[in-house]
Amino acid sequence: MIRPILRFGDEFLHQAASPVEEITPEIQRLVDDMVETMYAAPGIGLAAPQVGVPLRIFVADVSGGHGHGELLTFINPEFMERGGTQREDEGCLSVPGFNASVMRSSRAVLKGLTRDGRELVVEGSGLLARCFEHEMDHLDGTLFVDRLRGLQKDLIVRKIRKLTRSGKW
């Protein structure tokens, strides 16, 4: 089932998510819904808080669904290592139509559980490392816009406020 994606301005997106206590059939259905929602959007990552569920879960596929076996599910993820830096344009399904240059690690190792409860450790570099940090930010109540400063942030926030006032956001 495709779920609605919350947008910037929704206070729920700024709350830290809680750990998953047990992987139940409901959690597995949530993961399936998140995958379907991410691909339909289309996007390369989606965190549970973006669909209104305050749990530490995200799905990612930097191929956008075009690569076989590239879909990753992380439940209760945590960083094991991070290093290097990269600055690239970044977007977000909760901030549609807006991109900005954000500094991220160029390498990240993440550990968590799969939808079946197996431990998973993945090392990502480049886009995958960026995706990991972006989705982990969502689990901590942070959007990429929150990482911006000055004019770059002001322009995006002003445009969103204008869209909100006109009923287009």
Active site residues: 135
**The residue to which tokens 């942070």 are assigned:** 142
In angstroms, the CA 11 to CA 167 distance is 18
Region of 77 on the Ramachandran plot (φ > 0 left; ψ -120 to 50 alpha; else beta): beta
In angstroms, the CA 142 to CA 32 distance is 24
CB atoms within 10 A of CB 116: 11
